[in-house]
Amino acid sequence: MWINFFKLRLFCCLLAVLMVVVLVINVTQVEYLDHETVSATFIDSSGQFVFSQVTGISRNPYCGYDQQTLSSQERMEEDSLLAALHQQVPDVGPVPFVKSTDPSSSYFVILNSAAFFKVGSQLEVLVHVQDFQRKPKKYGGDYLQARIHSPKLQAGAVGRVVDYQNGFYKVFFTLLWPGKVKVSVSLVHPSEGIRVLQRLQEDKPDRVYFKSLFRSGRISETTECNVCLPGNLPLCNFTDLYTGEPWFCFKPKKLPCSSRITHFKGGYLKGLLTAAESAFFQSGVNIKMPVNSSGPDWVTVIPRRIKETNSLELSQGSGTFPSGYYYKDQWRPRKFKMRQFNDPDNITECLQRKVVHLFGDSTIRQWFEYLTAFVPDLVEFNLGSPKNVGPFLAVDQKHNILLKYRCHGPPIRFTTVFSNELHYVANELNGIVGGKNTVVAIAVWSHFSTFPLEVYIRRLRNIRRAVVRLLDRSPKTVVVIRTANAQELGPEVSLFNSDWYNFQLDTILRRMFSGVGVYLVDAWEMTLAHYLPHKLHPDEVIVKNQLDMFLSFVCPLET
């Protein structure tokens, strides 16, 4: 009997040990999967849900952003965003300038140029890139921009570029108006330049630096500030208590942290490139240079029949590309009918009894400037704010309109901002009651181009959370997001504000706000599709179209 009891105890002990071993193996495997592979569901560029396997995501350790405390859903989203933007530039080792992409030797061909085109047809263009020795390149990674346009009609639309990673690219266009339509392709940066931009994004995120003035009585000191600061010197911690957005300054030697008066852009680091790398950033050689056609660069498009035309523009799905096009210098969105606010009285009628909040960088400050210049009854109230910085306020007492502009919190490269005016957009949104007479417009992108993408994702995550709360408590509030836009580029600007950087930010913004219940003003396509040169602050005709779209969201056509 005792022998049988001993055998039973021994068997139970062995079974327990075996269960512990199996449990440890499973936990280890789960942890391995958690770090190495994430199953992510996200929305692709066409607006469709895609289930993907995101493997081995590498986060930038800058400022401890790789150690953020994120929920499983937030981490999954961040992984999918970083994976979607992972640029496939093969590591081919050092490439001499003569073997880099030469736009003047490269060419494009219209593949179906002999086809019969109607409005709504697809046009495919094949781009083949070559180096300065006129030899075909065997790998991809170049950043191209493409559009179709009809100068006499002041019409234009962008194309979608697909990189086949072998020196060939395809561009897909939708032909949206009748007449002679011309194709234009430009090389923004060669793949060799993109590799340099990637290195700067990872290794030199502090290449724009900031400063703050501290003052008490007759004593004043200026110290450097940023999202994080190197070394072991004492710091002033100005991390926002509500959003957790980090911001630090080196502590003044004689003054307390509470004596901070102003924030301003310190400058741009110099000497970022080697002589060999500088060759990849030359104006008139390989920055925003046209790629010529081999054969015809235009097609003729005939109108559709009336029955075929019905609902062509308004029946597009949520993932419509392109989102719109220009015709006679007026932007025509493909998903809804946009109104034209050509008379100040039209704008006044739309905004009557409304409070309009504009938050963000100088590209949305342009909206404030346009409205106050175009609408006579909208009178700016002098708050004594620094020029081009704000905050700004305009009032139309007769029609009960209040228009406000406030810049977003740091990082911001303005000349001088009073430290007590450094407000984060998320906190401002949390202070808005909202309702049918409340309108909010947000543009946050340009000042984040030098930082790792995790910094921008965190900022948008905070803003999105505040937007969702605002729409939950006041569903009739109109919230509009202005996207990034292309701009003029030179050798130096490319290192800080390249279209390649801003394209990444634009992609993140669209994905993070998809399905949130906000409206989108597609400034990216509006600048790329237009015939005017790209500018950080687009010309008035483009700004006017942006505001027509914005006001159409506020006051849509009655159907």
| Any domain includes 531 | yes
Q: Is the pLDDT of residue 29 over 70?
A: no
Cβ neighbour number for residue 47 with a 10 Å cutoff: 15
Kind plus residue range of the DSSP H or E element containing 480: strand 478-482
Residue 203 in any domain: the answer is no
Asked if residue 351 and residue 258 are part of one domain, the reply reads no
pLDDT at 192: 96
Count of domains observed in the chain: 3
- Confidence grade of residue 11 (pLDDT, cut at 50, 70, 90): low
CA nearest 220: which of 212, 230, 231? 212
Q: Are residues 122 and 255 in the same domain?
A: no
Q: Which pLDDT score, from 0 to 100, does residue 306 have?
A: 64
Q: What is the pLDDT of residue 228?
A: 87
Contact call for residues 40 and 77 (beta carbons, < 8 A): yes
* Distances in whole angstroms, Cα of residue 290 to Cα of each of 127, 133, 147, 296, 524: 12, 18, 11, 15, 19
Q: Quickly state the pLDDT bin for 37 (edges 50, 70, 90).
A: very low
CB 245 within 8 A of CB 424: yes
Q: Is the dihedral of CA 64, 65, 67, 69 positive or negative?
A: positive
Rounded mean pLDDT, 195-210: 93
> Does 362 lie in the same domain as 233?
no
Q: SS3 helix, strand, coil % of the chain, rounded to 5?
A: 30, 30, 40
Q: Does residue 455 register a pLDDT over 50?
A: yes
Is residue 224 located within the same domain as residue 351?
A: no
Domain of 431, CATH number, reads 3.40.50.1110
- pLDDT recorded at residue 56: 47
Q: Which pLDDT band, with edges at 50, 70 and 90, does 317 fall under? A: very low
**pLDDT in the model for residue 202:** 87
**480 & 415 share domain:** yes
Contact of 190 with 217, CB cutoff 8 Å: no
Based on its alpha-carbon atoms, the radius of gyration of the chain, rounded to whole angstroms, reads 27
What is the pLDDT, as a whole number, of residue 166?
95
**Per-residue tokens: 88:** 């496939």
Tell me which amino acid residue 191 is. Answer: S
**Residue 37 resides in a domain:** no
Better-predicted residue by pLDDT, 107 or 56: 107
Residue 122 within a domain: yes
Q: Kindly state whether residue 65 falls inside one of the protein's structural domains.
A: no
Which helix (H) or strand (E) segment is 172 a member of? strand 168-174
- Stronger pLDDT, 43 or 553, i.e. the higher one: 553
Output the pLDDT for position 318: 45
Is 250 contained in some domain? yes
Higher pLDDT among residues 46 and 476, named by residue: 476
Query: How confident is the model at residue 450, as a pLDDT?
Result: 95
- Mean pLDDT within 503-512: 97
Q: Do 239 and 349 lie in a common domain?
A: no
Q: Is the pLDDT of residue 28 over 60?
A: no
Mean pLDDT of 230-246: 93
CB 40 within 8 A of CB 76: yes
Residues 177 and 137 in one domain: yes
Position 34 pLDDT exceeds 60: no
Per the CB < 8 A criterion, the answer to whether 170 and 63 are in contact is no
Cα distance between residue 545 and residue 523, in whole Å = 9
The pLDDT score that the predictor gives to residue 279 is 98
Q: For residue 2, what pLDDT is reported?
A: 44
Beta bridge partners of 357: 404, 440
Is 144 in the same domain as 101? yes
Q: How far apart are CA 263 and CA 411, in angstroms?
A: 10
CA distances from 127 to 110, 364, 372, 498, 553 (A): 9, 35, 45, 22, 38
Strands 401-407 and 392-396: antiparallel
Residue 443 burial (10 A CB sphere; 0-12, 13-18, 19+): buried
pTM: 0.87
Same domain, 388 and 477: yes
* Average confidence (pLDDT) over 192-206: 93
Average pLDDT over residues 525-529: 98
Residue 481 in this model has a pLDDT that exceeds 80? yes
| CATH value at residue 136 | 2.60.40.10
Per-residue pLDDT, averaged over 122-135, amounts to 97
Query: What's residue 59's pLDDT?
Result: 59
Highest mean pLDDT among 20-34, 302-316, 467-481: 467-481
pLDDT digits (tens, 9 = 90+) for 258-315: 999 999 999 999 999 999 999 999 999 999 999 999 999 999 999 987 655 544 544 4
Q: What is the pLDDT of residue 16?
A: 55
pLDDT at 113: 73
Task: Give me the pLDDT at residue 22, please.
Answer: 40
pLDDT band at 223 (very low <50, low <70, confident <90, very high): very high
Domain residues for 245? 208-268
Tell me whether residue 325 is in a domain. Answer: no
Task: List the alpha helices (DSSP H) in 296-394.
Answer: 306-309, 344-351, 362-374
What pLDDT digit, counting tens, does each position of 369-428 carry?
A: 999 999 999 999 988 877 888 899 999 999 999 999 999 999 999 989 999 999 999 999
Q: Are residues 182 and 213 in the same domain?
A: no
* % the chain with pLDDT above 70: 85
Range name among 76-85, 130-139, 277-286 with the lowest pLDDT average: 76-85
How does DSSP assign 225-272, residue by residue?
EESS--SSS-EEE---TTT----EEEPPSSS-GGGEEEEEEEEE----
| Residues 466 and 505 both lie in one domain | yes
List all residues 6 or more positions away from 400 whose beta carbon is below 8 Å from its beta carbon: 352, 353
CA distance 338 to 201: 38
Polymer length in residues for the chain: 559
User: Which tokens in the block code for residue 497?
Assistant: 């504000």
Considering the domain architecture, whether residues 359 and 460 belong to the same structural domain is answered as yes
Is the residue at 351 inside a domain? yes
